Copies of this chain bind each other. A is one copy, B any other.
Amino acid sequence: MSETLSPTLSQTARTRLTRHRERGSDDRADLFAIIGEALVCHVGLVRDGEPVVLPSIHAADPDGPDEGGTLYLHGSVAAPWLLQAPGQTVCATFTLVDGAVLARAAFNHSMNYRSAVVYGAARRVDDPVERDHALRLIVDHVVPGRSATLRANTAKELAATTVLAVPLAEASVKVRSGGANDDAADVATGRWAGVVPLAVRAGIPQPEGDGPVPDDVRRRLADW
């Protein structure tokens, strides 16, 4: 559906920002950039009337079959949240922490971040072709190109896996960047303020057995 989709995100009652609206972005490209860079998301659902938030890896397909493109989640068929989610609205939140903003006053301390909050009805993916596509995307989300280097999933592996799809139509994006917003009186004290940039970085790979680090992994390490 992506060919007919607006490049901007439309606001709904759920996605309208109530605080710091100047930090909002309605650019759909920003949504996909944040989802693409976030290694994990936090998926919320309602169980017995109460909230449950679980970390999960994911992948997005801008050209997926759902309105706005498709967010894919997966896990064991035995995982209760994957059994419960289909048909329910879930909330998937993606947060990239870019820095600690250390201001002159406690009140003005902040974080620099890029975040996205997606709301949508979860759909269980049953079609074998879409399931295979989703599982490849999830592997490639961690290391681009990796799925093509691996053997196909076996029937047993596929039978053990639940795949969920969530439309990416309804989402908000919020970004904070820059320095401390201190009052002039605090700035005038000459007290130190600054931003400590933060990012997820990779260490040296710990291989099992012999052989060189494969090209897909080496390319990914160069980005991390």
User: How many angstroms from the CA of A40 to the CA of B113 in the assembled complex?
Assistant: 11
Residues of chain B within 8 A (CB-CB) of A214 are 192
The segment from A1-9, A23-31, A43-51, A64-72 that touches chain B is: A43-51
In angstroms, how far is the closest chain B Cβ from the Cβ of A155? 11
Complex contact A76–B19 (CB within 8 A): yes
Residues of chain B within 8 A (CB-CB) of A104 are 150
Complex contact B142–A106 (CB within 8 A): no
Complex contact A207–B224 (CB within 8 A): no
Q: List 14 A-B pairs, Cβ < 8 Å.
A: A39-B97, A39-B111, A40-B111, A42-B44, A42-B53, A46-B46, A53-B91, A57-B111, A105-B150, A187-B209, A192-B213, A194-B208, A196-B206, A198-B224
Residues on A facing B (Cβ under 8 Å): 14, 18-19, 39-40, 42-46, 49-55, 57, 75-76, 78-80, 89-93, 95, 97, 100, 102, 104-107, 109, 111, 113, 115, 117, 119, 135-136, 139, 142-143, 146-147, 150-151, 153-154, 157, 160-161, 179-180, 186-187, 190-214, 217, 220-221, 224
Given contacts A44-B51, A51-B53, A192-B211, 19 further A-B contacts (CB under 8 A): A14-B52, A39-B111, A42-B95, A44-B52, A44-B91, A51-B90, A52-B91, A53-B92, A97-B200, A107-B157, A107-B161, A192-B208, A194-B206, A194-B213, A195-B206, A196-B202, A197-B204, A198-B224, A199-B201
